Amino acid sequence: MGRLDNAGILRDGTLANMSEEEWDAVIRVHLKGHATSSLAGLIGNFGQTNYSSAKLAVVAFSRVVAMEYGRYGVRSNAVSPSALTRLALAVPGADAELRLPPPGVFDPLDPANVLPLIAWLAQADCPATSQIFHIGGNRVFLFTMPTISARLETRGRWTLEALDRELPGRLVRPMALGGLLGDT
Query: What is the tens place of the pLDDT at every residue in 135-156?
Result: 999 999 999 988 999 999 999 9
Q: Residue 123's CB: how many other CB atoms inside 10 A? A: 9
What is residue 1's predicted lDDT score, i.e. its pLDDT? Answer: 46
What is residue 184's predicted lDDT score, i.e. its pLDDT? Answer: 42
Strands 132-136 and 139-143: antiparallel
Second CATH level (architecture) for the domain 15-148: 3-Layer(aba) Sandwich (3.40)
Catalytic residue among 23, 51, 133, 143: 51
The arithmetic mean of pLDDT across residues 116-124, rounded, is 97
Q: Is 173 helix (H, G, I), strand (E, B) or coil?
A: coil
The arithmetic mean of pLDDT across residues 177-182, rounded, is 70
Residue 171 vs residue 26, higher pLDDT: 171
The arithmetic mean of pLDDT across residues 112-117, rounded, is 96
pLDDT tier at 70 (50, 70, 90 boundaries)?
Answer: very high
Residue range 76-92, pLDDT digits in tens: 999 999 988 777 777 77
Question: How buried is 50 (Cβ within 10 angstroms: 0-12 exposed, 13-18 middle, 19+ buried)?
Answer: buried
Please indicate whether residue 72 is annotated as part of the active site: no
